[in-house]
Structures are given as C-alpha cells and as structure tokens.
Structure 1
Amino acid sequence: MLNVENIRKDFPILSRKVNGKPLVYFDNAATSQTPQQVINAIVNYYSNYNANIHRGVHTLSQEATDLYEESRKKIQAHFNAKFSHEIIFTSGTTHSINLVANGFSSSLKKGDNIIVSALEHHSNIVPWQMLCERTGATLNVIPMNNEGELVMTAYDKLLSKNTKLVFCNHISNALGTINPIETIIEKAHAVGAAVLIDGAQACPHLKPDVQALNVDFYVTSAHKMCGPTGVGMLYGKEAWLKKLPPYQGGGEMIAEVTFEKTTYADLPHKFEAGTPNIAGGIVFGTAIDYMNSIGFEAIANYENDLLQYATKKLLDIEGLKIYGTSKQKTSVLSFNLEGIHPYDVGSILDKLGIAVRTGHHCAQPIMDFYKIPGTVRASFAFYNTKAEIDILAEGIKKAKMMLS
C-alpha cells in the first residue's frame, strides 16, 4: 500500500498554488512531476561532476563517464535488455522513433508496406509517412472501435509477406487504452516484420520486459517517469542496431575519420553523435531508481483505484461523456461536456488551480474518428489523491454551470 502523503512530500511543486488555489496536477500524461531526489541529482552533477564524457583523461570526465554508463546499466536492468549497448540515449521518444525510421530508409522499397495503429501519437505517425514518401512503401492502419480498442481481426488482414515494419503504442496517450502488444509483436514476427513499440505512456505505469516481449525496438522518455525533459531511450535488439546506419554524424559516433573515409564506432556510440544531455542521462537512472523504490505493482494498483474512482465520479455528471472505455486501460480520462468546447472547460479548471490537457493530444486521427475537436484529458499519477479527484469533479460542475 502506498503512503501517498509521504510520497507527495517528495514533489515540491505539489505544494504550490495556482490562481490562489492549491495545485491539482492532472496532466501527467504530458509530463510527470519531478521528485526532490531527482532534482538533487541534477544539482549534484552540475555542482560536482560537470564535464564532457568518454573523451577526457582528467578526473571529472572519468567520473561523469562512470555515472553516465552506470545509468545506462540501470536502464538496461529495468527493461531487462540483454546488453547495455542495446540502450541508446536519445533526446526522447520522438528522437528515438526518427532514428529508427531514418535507419530503414535504405532498406524499404515500393511494394513494401508498414503498419501503424489508429491510436498513435503524431510522433508515431509522421516519421513513417515521411519514410513512405522517401521509399515508395505503403502505410496501412489498424482501425479502432468505439471503445478505443484496436480491431485485431483487421490487423490480421493487413499483415502479409510484404509487411516489413509494425509500429504501435503500448498505451494510448489520448484514451489510456492498453494495447495487446504481445499479440501484435508475435503476429508481425510470423510474417518476418520488425516491431517498434512506443512506450512513452506505458513506462510510468508498468515495467516492460523487452526480452519477454521479444520486441525489436522499444522507446520512451524520461520526463514521463519522474525524470528530466530532453532525454529518453531507444532499446533495439543488437542485431537490428548493427544493421541500421547511423542517424547523425559527428563526434563520439566515429572509430576513425579521414577525408577519404569514416568508420563508425561500436554500439551504443554509433547512434550517440555529439555531446549528449549528460545530466539528463545520469538522472534518468535516478528517476528509475525512485520509481522502483515505490514499486510498479503498487503504482499500478493505486492508479487503477484512482481511475475507477474518477470514472464513477465523472459519469455522475450529467452531459459528460468519456472517450476510451476499453477494459484494459490505464489512469487517463478523456472526456467532454455536451455542447461545450474542451478548451473552455480547461480554462475554467485552470482558474480553479486544476491542470488538465485539452485539444487533440497529438492524436488527431482519434478525434476525427469520434468527430470531435478534442477532449479534456485528466491523467493521474501515483502522487494524486481521491480528494483531488473530488476537486476536479466539482470544478467540472462549476465549468458546466458557467458555460451552459
């Protein structure tokens, strides 16, 4: 059982006020808040170890390098990757996806097809559209149903010997749906296709095991997991990472450079050109340590309890409709009030100190499916409380009264 009051003390921002009201932070799907332990680790790096890594013989450089590579090993252990060099530090999920998309530019051709799901974030749609434009490959889409679930029978029909790549998010950022990625991966592999899973929304709530999943690529961002912005990771099976060409050229990713020819460094450095976000990489490991100290099973159980409580509370409000009603979902509620634009509801809630997200959540095809301009999205984390959900429900009622 989580001691939520103690956990909340780790997050200094939760004690501040917004518009004269205590902050109720329900925008966790966009970015989680940062505990003091992670903030301290950032300060500690810049206070004591600030130096470029991998290149210096001096003490600071060696210490920073050790901390950076220790963090890579923490991430490897957390996701159960076979090798630490299968963990590539990136600037985040979007960077990771683009790195893989760029790598397949030279291997796809006209007649090939790639598959994405209808539940994707734009970051897991646009790079593949660009890849198809460059290569002549075709982009196919697994459709969704009214509950916000993927239609798996349609997926079966889309798969063929010409399918080279399949891309799907583990959890929908807009609806909270948990997708059946085990089945998606297994069926893709049966036709010889590689699979990339976007885990940005999953990793704050559960602990993916990339070897058990047998996934080819898995990507996520630290800032969804109590870490800093501007750092994330790409997991790739060693065999695939060796096949793909580098995404960027520069320092660190080389073995030898002459004006006639450059040879590339071994993994993981082949994909890590230039000076990285060193502090970010180090404290990504700190954030993972923090979340593991709480326990992902405890987090999942507590957040599911919050989701059930909030769902019942909000459905008691007349004229409120929830989008995304899959039985398998995480702590996200996407909703609208009948006849009221989501932006207006979000603005009123902000005046009451309640932070929610409004709009299409970088998932415009989902909104087009429902024929709506967007939704109000309340997304919960392990440091939120039922009392805060009560405040949200009262805020929605007040917004409805003011805007009707």
Structure 2
Amino acid sequence: MFERLAEIVLNGERYPTEADQPPIMLWFPIEKDYVGPALMNETVEQKTDRLLKLSRKIRSQLHKITSGLDATGEERLLEYLELREVSVELNGLLAECGEGKSENYEKAKRTVTEINTALQGLEFEALVKEILKENHFQIGINKILVPWLDNLQKEAFQNPEKPDNFDKAREIENEAVIFAKEVRKANRMISQLDTEADLQENKIFSKGLIDDQKLRFKHIAQAAATRVEQNRAIVLNWGFYIEMKTEADKIFDELNELYPDQTKDVKDETEDLDYSKALPFVLNKFLSCSELLLTNQPKPDSQENCCVVHEKLNKSRELASRGMKILTKIGECTEKTPAHQSVWDQTCRLKKVVTALNDKGLNMDKLMKKWDGMVKSQQTDDLDFQPLLAFMNQYVKCFS
C-alpha cells in the first residue's frame, strides 16, 4: 500500500485542487443487508430485529469461513478473529433482548446459539496450519516449480548442437541424458505438489494450477526424450561406422602388405563425407584394390615364387571373405534406405572378386603341381616333354 502511495506522489496522480475533483457518488448497501447503529430510544422489538440482521450477516461470513470458497487462508483467519469479537457483542445484545421477551426472541436466540456453536467448532491452530499448507503449496508452485520449468523449457527447445567428431557426439549425448534426469526430478516434484493440491481447501483452484504446469511439463518431457533418442542414435550409428571403418582399414592394410606396389594409388572416398553418408563406402577402397589386383596379378618366375604367389592368393581370399562379412553388417544397417543400393552394388562386385580369386587359386594349385612334375622330369632327364607342355599350358591359362 505504501509503495503505491509513493508512486502517486512521484507521478503526480492527484488533482491540483478540490474544484478539479469529480463528484463523488455516495452509495449505501442494500437495505436488507444494512445494519444501522442503535437508536437513542431503541425498543426491544427494534433490538431484536437488529440482532436478527446481524446474525444473518454473521452466518454468511461463517459460511465463507467454513466453505473455503473464494477466500484465502489469511482472509478466513481474519474473518474468524473478527467474528470472535463480534460474537461477544452479539451475546450481549441477546441478553438485552431477553429482558423484554419480544416475539422474535426465540428465533434470535436459536440463531445466536448456532453462531456460537459454529465458532466453537473452528480452531485457531487449524486455520493457521491451513495457511501454512496453502503457502507451502503456493511457494512450491510459484517460487520453485514455475521458474524451474521455465529454465527447462528454454533449454528443451533450443537449437540442437551438431557434433563434428565422435567424442563431441558422446559429450552431447551425455548432456542430453543429464537433462533428461533433471526433467525426471521435476516430474517427482509435480507429483508431490499434485498430492498436496488434493489436501488444499480450494481443490478446484489448486488442481487447476498444477494441471497447467503438467501440460507444460508434458511438452518438455517429450522434447527431452526425443533429444536423448536422437543423440543416442547418432552415437550408436557413428560408433558402428567407426567400427566398420576400422575393420575395413585393417583388411586393406593387410592387403597392402601383400601387394605394396599395386595399392598405393587407390583413394579413400570416405574422407570428405559425413559418417552417415560414408558408411556404405567404407569397403570401397579395399574392393577397388582387389579388382585392380585381379587385372595385374604378379607372375612367378620360379617354383619358390609360385608358392609365395599362391600363399598371397589364399590370404587375399580370406581378406575378401572378411570384407563380405563387413558388407553384410552394413547391409543390415542400411536396409530399406537409399544407401542400401550402394551396399548391394559393392556386394555384387565383391562376389565377383571372390569367384575370380577362387578360380585363380584353383589354377595356381594346378600350376604348382605341373611345376613340380616338370622339375622332377628335369631331374630324371628322361626326355619326356609332356610335363613341360602341361606346365606351359597351365601357366598360359593362369596368366593369359
């Protein structure tokens, strides 16, 4: 009140003179509700009538206290203290009316008795506890829950940060999980306040307050859950890409150790791509190198070198089988997506490579046997040209 008076003085919200003031409308309460002061020569009948009017007014105030509708705890307590003082005057007036025994005395006596009984049923401590309970609920709503939800709402609907590396993605996913835990804490507080709302005198008003916050919380919780799911999917997909990329690079490095001179010009197509777009192409470098080796297969110039070439072919076949497993895993991940076509094309290419390596392996097995037969024929020097011709035919068949 005093702050408002200070504003009026500072802002000059006053009329300069009384002449500038607008006319004041004087009004009186409705006649049936108006209880005037006692007359100088008031009769017993007039006192009784005034007592009945006061009693009706007090009963309406009592109803306001007992019902709790449209009244705060502080207002009910003040009404109770005021009525407790007025009841003393009411009982004194009843005693004065009893001296003359007017017609309405019994009616007035019954009304005053009901008022005394109602006032005795009210407890000062109960009203104080009700105020504490109401203030506790209001503080929980206005001072704790609403600001808390304001901060959560602001954070829940901000633009998501896009990670540029896997560690950053894990950090963002961890922050999303922490935020979701904070949202769950707010949910526990809402449940607690919802229980307290059922204990308030004005349940309809209290439930309305908590229902408004429940609606806000529902949108916040949905945003938090969506953020966790999205970031967790990013981490899982990115982790799967790193795992597949590591395995693909490993078999390529092993192939590079077998054929160091023929794999140096092969380029990696995943360097400038995002992890989601690069996943279907993690094996492309190994596949391109394997196809290149099929067209530039080294030719052995001795039996020992032939054994080395044969061993390298077997190792290449093993690496191709491992590459097929990688493509199978990627295909399961990219199934029913546009990227699956690229995986399918690479699978077809790798199957052709595996078939060609198997054929070359079989031919190298035959070549080694022919070479061994030619060497034995040379050592015996029996002038048999069949082993030599058989070796030459198989050699041409392998490297033509």
Q: TM-score range by the shorter chain?
A: under 0.3
- Which structure: greater helix fraction? 2
Higher relative contact order (CA 8 A, sep 6+): 1
TM normalised by structure 2 equals 0.18
Structure with a larger share of its residues in strand: 1
Larger radius of gyration: 2
